[in-house]
Amino acid sequence: MGAVVSNAVSSIQARVLIPGRASGEALVLDDTLSFWGGFDPAKGEIIDVHHPQFGQRVGARVLFIPESRGSAGTPGGIAETLRNGTGPHAFVLGERDVNIGVGTLVANRLYNMDVPVLVVTLDQMAQFRSGETIEIDRRGLISVKR
């Protein structure tokens, strides 16, 4: 990828892992995260002290994350934060992550939610910045308002 001018990207077509519609402020994580042990689903807060975004909350954000890490507990952490209302409005992944996909699918089903999980390339992910306003449609089109 060449240099990206800050307002050059208005939309990116992602691949849809779990369909849904969402909008929210972007939170871009610089590292992988375990949603068991590294994350508090009661508060929706990153509690892994080694994580670059330690202390940040994911609630109502469009969460950009390279992928989850580690434990079998990640789907439970995802479903629980969504159940609590502390979870993100959408996930945009850099890898095809089954754990995040399944956790979201279960929460969508059990709690009648519509949280999408999308995947983009890591190069595409690098074009998003925390704080940007994001909209996602059911076909996986990610629109950015800058």
Partner 1 sequence: MKLNQLDQERLDGKLGKAMQFAMQTIVTAAHIDQVDSLIDISFAHIDACFYNGRAHLDFVNYMLEHGATLAVPSWTNNGLVALNDLSLRDPHASREMDEARQLMQAYVRLGCNPVWTCAPYQLPDRPKLGAHIVGSESNAVSFYNSVIGARSNKYGDYLDVCAAIIGRVPFSKLHRDEARAAELVFDVSKLPQSVLDNDLFYHLLGHVIGRRSGHRIPAVTGLAASCNEDDLKAISAAGSSSGSVPLFHAVGITPEAATLEIACQGAAVEQVIELEITDLQQARRELGVNSERPLAGIALGTPHFSFSEFERLVDLLGERRVQAGLVCYLTTSRHVYAQAAERGWTDALEVAGMKIITDTCTYFSPAINGLEGKIMTNSAKWAYYAPGMLPVEAVIGSLAECVESAVSGEVRLDQWALS
Please identify every residue annotated as catalytic. Answer: 71
Contact partners, residue 132, CB within 8 Å, separation at least 6? 25, 26, 144, 145, 146
Cβ atoms of 105 and 82 closer than 8 Å: no
125 binds partner 1 (CB under 8 A): no
132 binds partner 1 (CB under 8 A): no
Label residue 119 left, alpha or beta by phi (over 0 means left) and psi (-120 to 50 means alpha): beta
17 binds partner 1 (CB under 8 A): yes
Binders of partner 1 among residues 49 to 108 (CB under 8 A) are 49, 69-77, 79-80, 82-84, 96-99, 101-103, 105-107
Smallest separation (angstroms) from partner 1 to the CB of 58: 15
- By C-beta, is 76 or 137 nearer to partner 1? 76
